[in-house]
Chain A
Amino acid sequence: MEPLLQPVYFGPPARRLFGVHHAPSEPALGCVLMCPPLLNEHFRSYRFFSQVASQLAGAGLACLRFDYLGTGDSDGGDDQFNPAECNLDIALAAGELRRRNEGAPLILMAIRGSALFAHRQAEDLGASALWLWQPVLDGAGYVRELEKRDRFERGSRYRYPLLRGMAAANAQDLMGFALSARFRSELSAYSIDRQPGSVRTAVLAHQEDPAMQLAADARLELPLSVTAWSDELDLASLIPLRDARDALEALVSDIPRWTTHG
């Protein structure tokens, strides 16, 4: 039987979130909460992480992918996506995933910018493991990178061949989204401590990614074909799942390692 994909809304009416639950065909060996990358990276990689979730479900792990408030299919305008409140969404999503997979140990899989939030919460949520996928380590540096990229895109002759000067945006807009005045300062306040945490951790990244220097129980190398998307705005091609299979298989080859509290 193939893993079942179930779209779901959850959370209180004032904070209604959208998610997709990937259910394994047998009772789950563990459950993986996939915290999505932010802003443009979210829709750039959406298909790929849907496929990753199905792959994990095929190995017996239930997965829930969700959208933060004000992003993707969740309720709220773009200006309601505030980094300081992402912990609320992660907690709601963890609760929803646990409700659907009672008793299954929780693994947090945090992708790119979400790593900034999830690594702080893993212990509080009682997660048995934290998987960091191409994690952003420094929120302030990330905001600066996004600002630089935003200016580049708005002035790009490739993007705007017929426009003189830069495309005009509002002061709070960033990477195509009409964000709140709080967004940049809130995201800048986050960073990842390079010291080992109490939750068993795996890092998945390109070998030259500084994240591979993090203290971790496992470091799984991803080829450039699987990591380059984080620097791409246009969806010119799909991210090849086949190139991530080795890393994913390594991850699920010893599920008890990640589902048993250390």
Chain B
Amino acid sequence: MDELLSLDGGRSFGILTRATADARGRAVLLFNAGLIHRVGPFRLHVHLAHRLAAQGFDVFRFDLPRIGDAPAGTHATQESAAGEALDMVQGATGATSFIVGGLCSAADLSWKMAVADTRVDGLLLIDSMAVRSRWFRVGQLQLLLKRPVSSWPRMAWRFLKPKPADGPGLADFRDWPDHATFKSDLEKMLERGVKVLALYTGGVAQYLLHRRQLDATFGASRRHPGLQVEYWPGVDHLVFVPPDRQRVMERISQWATP
């Protein structure tokens, strides 16, 4: 059964789904996917929480400042608000280790939390950082060839046209470290024993179009047994259709309880 936990001195709150099977002493925190409130896209977080609770996890979902029901509050940063949520869940459940994760901006925040907080030993990333590399161009070419010839000029122009220097780019919407820092932080986390599941959908075609990009992204750690990287090009960024969402949840629950 879900219960309420107060956050930020009563200004905000989150919902804790307690383990319904034998508790593992391990909790899961799901962060907001972009601007979507704590239920997640199409209630993904609600269903995932109940599924993981049945596997012995306590699961907490809440709104970061200025999302859903949360006011600006007193936290200066999202990391600070997320840190308080970890403390609250630890206090309420006695969990000693945490999986943190989510989709899109939630993956970005989870990465930062996992780097900074040694209580985190599991990292769930959906549509996280990827570098474009030359394989992105190969992906663009493959995409072009799959489309009707009549659409090639328009697509080619879109792919190759110079982007305005002052226009919005990925950096304006995502919070990624530079690539060298990303790889080095990943190495440190894997050495620390953090288990990472990185799922990528076809819905982030603006930066990921070829699975070989992921080799470049994760570098030497790509084959580390603690890191599982998967590319699901037939799934969209919001995981719109229920059968896709079911597969995503099955994969996550399988990863969380090896």
Contacts and interface: CB of A to CB of B under 8 A. Distances in A.
B240 A43 contact: no
Interface of A: 5, 7, 9, 16, 18, 20, 40, 43, 46-47, 50, 71-73, 75, 77-78, 153-154, 159-164, 167-170, 173, 176-178, 233-235, 237-238
Nearest to B239: A176
B67 to A, nearest CB: 7
B242 A43 contact: no
B109 to A, nearest CB: 16
Interface string B48-71: 000000000000000000011101
B101 interface: no
A161 B240 contact: no
Contacts of A46: 36-37, 68
B205 A47 contact: no
B25 interface: no
A166 to B, nearest CB: 9
26 contacts: A5-B69, A7-B13, A16-B1, A47-B35, A47-B68, A73-B15, A73-B46, A75-B2, A78-B43, A153-B240, A154-B241, A159-B237, A159-B238, A160-B234, A161-B143, A161-B205, A162-B202, A167-B236, A167-B241, A168-B243, A169-B243, A173-B242, A176-B242, A177-B43, A233-B238, A237-B35
Contacts of A170: 242-243
Interface in B184-200: none
A24 B43 CA distance: 30
Interface residue tally on B, bucketed by range: 35 or more
A202 to B, nearest CB: 25
Nearest to B234: A163
Residue among A5, A161, A164, A177 with the most chain B CB within 10 A? A161
Interface string B1-38: 11010000001010100000000000000000011111
Given A9-B4, A167-B244, A235-B35, A162 B68 contact: no
Nearest to B34: A235
B240 A162 contact: no
A169 B241 contact: yes
Contacts of B209: 162
A92 B99 CA distance: 36
A176 B233 CA distance: 18
A176 B238 CA distance: 9
B203 interface: yes
B16 to A, nearest CB: 12
A169 B47 CA distance: 18
Contacts of B47: 77
Given A159-B203, A162-B202, A43 B41 contact: yes
A159 B240 contact: yes
